[in-house]
Amino acid sequence: MQAFFFDMDGVLFDSMPSHAKAWVEVMHRHRLPCTERDIFINEGRTGRDVIDHCYRQTYHTDAPDGLWQQIYKEKSEAFEQKGAPKAVDGVAEVLNYIRQQPDTQIWIVTGSGQDSLFARLESYFPGVFAPERMITAHDVQLGKPRPEPYLKAWQRSGLDKSQCCVIENAPLGIISAKAAGLRCLAVNTGILTNDDLATANPDEIFDDMHQLLDYLRSQTATL
């Protein structure tokens, strides 16, 4: 593989528990239905998509512009109050291994627009991620589970699809990657089960980053 497309929340940062708690607090403040499992299941959507998804359950229409902007502002503030997340256990070792492979690109493809996480990338993973190799909520019109985010990363990589691989942890992200025609390796880092991930048909499922690293090493050894 010559390019790896990493999701961010739940793959690079162990940030999903804080995101879930922040979303639930703010949605309930606005009397919208939301559970932590809902957030894990819907991980990968842009903030607006998450808000519209919850709003439609009660009002059967998308949230008005002013309201969704206010809800997302409150959610971002609530997330910041949870404190800085840690890196996902083992992901630094995965990134370091991939960086050792010649002429290999490393990308971020995320539905997040949380600027605080982007600002932490260099301190957590120095020298790994370049701004020109990031696809975020600010770059797409149709976020995950639609294929646009991963299609944009693939197109900008300049590589064949067969040379690209996605690392995901969420069903909607997996669906997005597969809809883009890309190989997808799923790593279970959250509260969902492997069966939950399997419904999205990833190519492989791993219990943690250490299993993923062993797999990548075994694949390299057979080349």
Place of tokens 């919208």: 32
The Cα–Cα gap between 163 and 25 comes to 41
Residue-averaged pLDDT of the chain: 94
pLDDT in tens, 37-46: 999 999 988 8
> In this predicted model, what pLDDT tens digit does every residue of 5-18 receive, in sequence order?
999 999 999 999 99
Residues 63 and 53: beta-carbon distance below 8 Å: no
**Does residue 72 have a pLDDT over 60?**
yes
Task: Give the number of other Cβ atoms within 10 Å of residue 217's Cβ.
Answer: 10
Confidence of residue 221 (pLDDT cuts 50, 70, 90): low
Residue 223 has pLDDT above 50, yes or no: no
Comparing 19-23, 70-74, 134-138, the range with the smallest average pLDDT is 134-138
pLDDT the model gives residue 117: 76
Distance in angstroms (rounded) separating the CA atoms of residues 97 and 85: 23
- What pLDDT sits at residue 154? 98
Per-residue buried b or exposed e for 119-156, using 16+ beta carbons within 10 Å of the residue's own CB:
ebbeebbeebbeeebbbbbebbeebbbbbbbbbbbbeb
**Parts of the chain belonging to CATH 1.10.150.240:** 16-80
Domain made up of 16-80: CATH architecture: Orthogonal Bundle (1.10)
Task: List, by residue range, all CATH 3.40.50.1000 domains of the chain.
Answer: 3-15+85-222
Q: What is the DSSP letter of 34?
A: -
pTM, rounded to two decimals: 0.90
Angle, to 10 degrees, between the axis of helix 209-222 and the axis of helix 91-99?
20
List pLDDT tens digits, range 89-126: 999 999 999 999 999 999 999 988 777 778 889 889 99
Q: Which fold has domain 3-15+85-222?
A: Rossmann fold (3.40.50)
Contact of 219 with 94, CB cutoff 8 Å: no
* Tens of pLDDT, residues 77-86: 999 999 988 9
